[in-house]
Structure 1
Amino acid sequence: MIALFAGSLLSVTLGVALVQSSLLLLITAATLDPPAGLGAAERMEFSDNVTAAVAMLGVILGIATFLAGFIISSTFAFTVAQRRRDFALLRLVGAGRGQVRMRLLREAVVLGGLGAAIGVPAGLVVMAAQAALMRRMGFVPAGFAGEWRPWILAVSFGTGIALSLAGAMVAAHRAARVLPLEALRETGAAARVMTATRWIAGLIFLGGALALIIVAPVGGPGGGAAMAMNVPMPAAIAAAALSPLIVPLLGRLLPTGSGVIGALARANLWDARRRSASVAAPLIVLVGLVVGTAAAGASFTDAGIGELQRQTRADLVVTATGPVGPAIAAVPGVASASTELSVPATVDVGDESFSVSALVVDPAAYARAHSVELAGLRGHAVAAGPGGEVPAKGSVRLALPDLDLGAVPVVASVPATISGGANLLLPPGLVPDRLLAAAPAQSFVTLAPGASAGTVRAALARIGTVATAGDWLRADATARSEVNNKIMVSVMGIGALYALIGVVNSIVIGAAARRREFAAARVGGLTRSQVLRAALVESSAVTVAGILLGGLAAAGALIAAARTTSAVTGTTTVTMPWTLIGAVCAVALLVTGTTSLITSWSATRPAPILLLAARE
């Protein structure tokens, strides 16, 4: 009984800690003021970085809340299922359904309050770790740390109690409805694991995942990618809801050996479907979220590389600073060059104001280098760039560092690309020379027929860093994917750890109720070593089944990514992060196997006759 309550308490504590940490960091980042002494351009860059950090922390908070609710509800449901015989005895001695239900809800309130009390100080430790990770990855400035807010106490206690009540409510209702004799004999409703609630939840979330997969291709580069990355959440919930039906079937199809150990493991997989599903559920979420998000992100990155390679017409790319276009054009052997100077900007569209990336370009040269049309881009006007976000028609209010350009008409637009890019294209003369003197510049150079590439490169090297167009595109994609990988680590790292702890928690709770089962097996002739091996085989089979179902949820994101890349770029792109997949599978098997061995070894330490003779 102690292990059951401890497991529920642990899940609430970690959930409160993770939600509290994410919320405090989000509020701190949203209210962060730029350091004194920054210039206008530095302030805009600081604002861009803070906006990105706030967006990332918002995603982390959403995933933390989702995981907390999912893990807590799964743990409470499993804990209540493990105590069904106790509730049956209470019903037999006169307790009513309402009394059983209220007892469970009171326990949930107590556990929620205790979990929050422990989770508040634990959340400070988690917050320090999250802030250090974000500083290390460059998402926030040095010295950034989450700030304590007194009102977070009310939020944390409210979160703990609310999640505990939500997790216990359905389980309490079901426990109160089961007839006492059915619970004691484990027949009728007590033996039914696929309840109406599970069927409804599983089918609803499965429908949501399918809807995202279907709609993603019409969402464009930004919307399609966002929908594809969100597919694993409803898909994982659907798979977890249906897992009591699927996990035992998958487990029995896996090779577990033909001897007595394999037979015992297969029998346990079928008879203990609640336990198997409880262990598999966090694994499904872990694999679905981590692998699905990573696979979709890698697919979009590779699709962006291919798209840029098809659209870019250049032999060399020169990276320099300032308006180097005339100097590059004067180099012998250069047929044409599109020099693009990057400047930070702020755009107001209606009531919305946001930071954008802007490029100062020569319209004709840019059109040749990138296979687009920019007719009409001159004077006091702008064009919507490949990064999207800016409307293709109408006007915007544009502000540069120390310069407000007021309302500027949008006279042209280029198609949004899946790899993103600048949000605005500005014509020459719109931006003062003083703002361009230190602006980063990329020049896409086309060589004249018969020109010596080596000679031209040597001359261009005196102006800036020179690379072939293919090498530059790959390096740029690597830099972009590095940022995406850092974001994924920040978003998924702590959540994945929480899911793994949920797996360990379920195994520990399940093992606490198996002491008599292990003792009966040993009295029946099995040695302690055979019992431990049977438990390990069973755990491994459940883990593989959970990984397969999680992989199915991840496949939904990959299908959505494939459909979206095909619709946007004309080429279907699918990239599998095999290294990550292998690492996730290995960690899952290692964690579940080690936990199963430790808990089984502890449960088989007493002499079996003592356990069978005990009342509890």
Structure 2
Amino acid sequence: MLRLSWNTFTDRWPLFLGAVLTVCLGVALVQSSLLILVSAATAGGEVAEAVTLLALTLGISAFLAVFIVSSTFAFTVAQRRRDLALLRLVGGGRGQVRRLLLSEALLLGVIGTVTGVPLGLLVMRSQAWLLRTLGFVPGEFTPRWQDWILGVSAGIGLAVAVAGVLAASRRAAKVRPLEALRETGEATRVMTGTRWFFGALFLAGATAMAIVSAFVPADGAIALAINTALAAAVALTALSPMVVPLAGRLAGLVLRGPLGRLAEANLRDGVRRSASTAAPLIVLVALLVAQAGALATIAAGARNEQQADLRGDLVVTTTGPADLDVPGVVSVSAQTRLPIAITTRTDEGDGEVDTETEQGVATVVDPAAYAGAHVRGPQSGSLADLTGATIAVGPGFRPVGSTVTARIGDRELDLRIVAVLPETLGGGAEFLLPRDIVPAGLLASAPTESIVRLGPGAEPAALAAHGEVTTVDEWLDRAGAEQQETSTGIMTVIMGLAGLYALIAVINAVVIAATDRRREFAVARVTGLTRGQVVRSAVLESGAVTAIGLVLGGLAASVTLIGISSATGRITGQAVLVVPWGLVAVIVLGAFAVVGATSTWTALSATRPNPVSLTGAAE
């Protein structure tokens, strides 16, 4: 069976080339992300943020590998149904067909793994450079090679390839050979029971996660945003064959002339081909737009939240607290930021105590001045008790009355929690410390931002000698720009290579579709169409398919953005929704350009031979 699989592979290599490429890229992405993740996790707390990002990257890479390889194999097997039908007619049983396809998957997994391992080293260098450039890891950070990764990569390549062909091989073995040869019955049915089941399942899951995201903290909402987009993308991909015929009818209203009618007919007739081409586009748009929109929406909501919370006119930025007792100043709330390590201990029973240390940033304040500069009070407890060996913590950390151990500089103190701060979208303080327990030397060298309220007729210029003076709005705009820069870095790390992978899958689907259309194009030419007209018809068809993928991907992203917008409304009292129109424009123009160029090239290649030789050739 392996010999027959190898002969099939060498004879129909254009169909398998895309599958090999997807397995290769999947192995490379997962291997790279896993190696960097392990290296970062063992490097200590200074790269803790990078560990979280890499864990997300690894999860998305694994999802894309399984999803795209599965859809690619399913399309490849569908393109070969006539070959498989002939194998059945000459005596091959259903089990032999399945073993043939699984053997081919095994070969492709081996080839994809062998090529993916060295490619993964190049991807690892690119990812590490990206993390260093964006400041998520130190400049000297270098991921280390691990010998065990060879076994993991081999397992990933073989498992993804075999898992990708399992469902397709089962369906191919069930099709009756005469139905496949005649293109009737089960062979032509695209919306199978499996598609209906997974489409409904993932659609329900995406809807449930979108609802849940409206009731979780901001960090949880971001994580749910990615999962919601993935689930919605899978659901709409499974259900996309229902949309293709409708899109064909709509295209018929727009596309005029013989070429338009031909493109419309091909679109309605090639439902499987159109759905397979649109699938990677749906995932690409859903991931990129949902993630960018979620980060931008949370950033906008955080700014609105801070603007409503602050009671002040100016912000004076200094190194260490400054004496701002000048004429016209009504109140000053100095907020000094210091790194802090908080250790918590939890009694697990049976004499076991779980100890956990969290790195963070504490804001050193005068409790009365801080309460006067902020509208929102704590969820529980009181800032009036924030004196001596006490601390105020963020929501969900520990209840009032608990004790934690804090390392401030080289001092270690046991602190009692006296207040739990309100939930925020970002930008709020993680921990609050009273000024009297922090050494003066640490305060003198730490960055301090003082919220200043002015009286009538006060001159802001009087504060210029004490530090950098900005209005509250300018200060919030600057903080928002920094957060946007961080968000862009997160997007680049998480979605950069994954988005490229999905884009390559789109090109691959177009190429696979064109390899099986040589005779179709030849028939169109012998009936009177020129080569240029056939190519233009194929490009028109690909444009309609691209539109389907973009619209369905946009719907998947919309489910996520609605959930995030609801979360901002619950936390801040004012729902915010930011759509990344710039990114949307880039994706739309790029998708049409890439798919159009690929369709043109493949159609030109498919129409290069003499049409008479193709129409008369035996299939």
Which residue of structure 1 lines up, in the alignment, with residue 423 of structure 2? 416
Fraction of identical pairs, as percent: 52
Given candidates 9, 24, 27, the residue that maps to 1:16 is 27
Residue 375 of structure 1 and its aligned partner are, at CA, apart by 2.4
Which residue of structure 2 lines up, in the alignment, with residue 436 of structure 1? 443
Which residue of structure 1 lines up, in the alignment, with residue 307 of structure 2? 309
Which residue of structure 1 lines up, in the alignment, with residue 481 of structure 2? 478
2-structure distance, mates of 1:375, 1:11: 60
Counterpart code for 2:340:
A
2-structure distance, mates of 1:270, 1:165: 31
Any idea what SS the aligned residue of 1:348 has?
Answer: strand
Any idea what SS the aligned residue of 2:428 has?
Answer: coil
Q: Which runs of 4+ in 1 moved over 6 A?
A: none
Report whether the alignment pairs 1:565 with 2:574: no
- Unmatched runs of 5 consecutive residues or more in structure 1: 34-46
Residue 300 of structure 1 and its aligned partner are, at CA, apart by 1.1
Residue 148 of structure 1 and its aligned partner are, at CA, apart by 1.0
Counterpart code for 2:81:
R
Which residue of structure 1 lines up, in the alignment, with residue 239 of structure 2? 242
Any idea what SS the aligned residue of 1:429 has?
Answer: helix
Which residue of structure 2 lines up, in the alignment, with residue 356 of structure 1? 360
Q: TM-score, structure 1 length as denominator?
A: 0.94
Residue 210 of structure 1 and its aligned partner are, at CA, apart by 0.4
Given candidates 526, 529, 551, the residue that maps to 2:529 is 526
Counterpart code for 1:460:
L
Q: 1:372 to 1:567 in 2, by over 3 A?
A: closer
Residue 421 of structure 1 and its aligned partner are, at CA, apart by 2.7
Residue 161 of structure 1 and its aligned partner are, at CA, apart by 0.4
Given candidates 519, 543, 548, the residue that maps to 1:545 is 548
Contact 1:375 1:412 in 2 (8 A): no
Given candidates 481, 496, 517, the residue that maps to 2:520 is 517
Which residue of structure 1 lines up, in the alignment, with residue 328 of structure 2? 333
1-structure distance, mates of 2:220, 2:390: 27
2-structure distance, mates of 1:339, 1:134: 34
Given candidates 427, 437, 456, the residue that maps to 1:449 is 456
Contact 2:248 2:265 in 1 (8 A): no
Residue 108 of structure 1 and its aligned partner are, at CA, apart by 0.6
- Structure 1 range deviating more: 509-518 or 365-374: 365-374
Contact 2:306 2:427 in 1 (8 A): no
Q: TM-score, structure 2 length as denominator?
A: 0.94
Residue 392 of structure 1 and its aligned partner are, at CA, apart by 4.9
Contact 1:303 1:573 in 2 (8 A): yes
Contact 1:217 1:568 in 2 (8 A): no
Counterpart code for 2:373:
A
2-structure distance, mates of 1:210, 1:448: 51
Which residue of structure 1 lines up, in the alignment, with residue 134 of structure 2? 137
Report whether the alignment pairs 1:253 with 2:250: yes
Counterpart code for 1:17:
A
Which residue of structure 1 lines up, in the alignment, with residue 183 of structure 2? 186
Contact 1:229 1:297 in 2 (8 A): no
2-structure distance, mates of 1:379, 1:430: 6
Which residue of structure 2 lines up, in the alignment, with residue 384 of structure 1? 393
2-structure distance, mates of 1:504, 1:392: 57
Any idea what SS the aligned residue of 1:375 has?
Answer: helix
Given candidates 276, 279, 283, the residue that maps to 1:278 is 276
Which residue of structure 2 lines up, in the alignment, with residue 395 of structure 1? 403
2-structure distance, mates of 1:524, 1:392: 82
Deviations 1:457-507 (A, max 9, x none): 333222211100011011111111110111111111111110000000000
Contact 1:296 1:558 in 2 (8 A): yes
Contact 2:313 2:452 in 1 (8 A): yes
2-structure distance, mates of 1:525, 1:485: 52
Residue 389 of structure 1 and its aligned partner are, at CA, apart by 4.4
Counterpart code for 1:339:
A
Deviations 1:417-439 (A, max 9, x none): 11243211001111111222211
Deviations 1:530-556 (A, max 9, x none): 100000000000001100000000100
Which residue of structure 1 lines up, in the alignment, with residue 374 of structure 2? 370
2-structure distance, mates of 1:192, 1:397: 64
- Structure 1 range deviating more: 459-468 or 390-399: 390-399
Deviations 1:189-224 (A, max 9, x none): 111101111111111110111001111222133333
2-structure distance, mates of 1:263, 1:392: 71
Q: 1:346 to 1:84 in 2, by over 3 A?
A: same
Q: 1:270 to 1:137 in 2, by over 3 A?
A: same
Which residue of structure 2 lines up, in the alignment, with residue 42 of structure 1? none
Any idea what SS the aligned residue of 1:176 has?
Answer: helix
Residue 390 of structure 1 and its aligned partner are, at CA, apart by 5.2
1-structure distance, mates of 2:402, 2:220: 22
Q: 1:316 to 1:383 in 2, by over 3 A?
A: same
Contact 2:41 2:47 in 1 (8 A): yes
Which residue of structure 1 lines up, in the alignment, with residue 9 of structure 2? none
Which residue of structure 1 lines up, in the alignment, with residue 260 of structure 2? 262
* Correspondence 1:207-226 to 2 at 5 A: 207-226=204-223
Deviations 1:240-278 (A, max 9, x none): 111112133224313552211111111111111111001
Residue 296 of structure 1 and its aligned partner are, at CA, apart by 1.6
1-structure distance, mates of 2:197, 2:567: 29
Counterpart code for 1:270:
R
Any idea what SS the aligned residue of 1:29 has?
Answer: helix
2-structure distance, mates of 1:142, 1:214: 41
2-structure distance, mates of 1:263, 1:204: 36
Contact 1:256 1:266 in 2 (8 A): no
Contact 1:516 1:611 in 2 (8 A): yes
1-structure distance, mates of 2:134, 2:307: 29
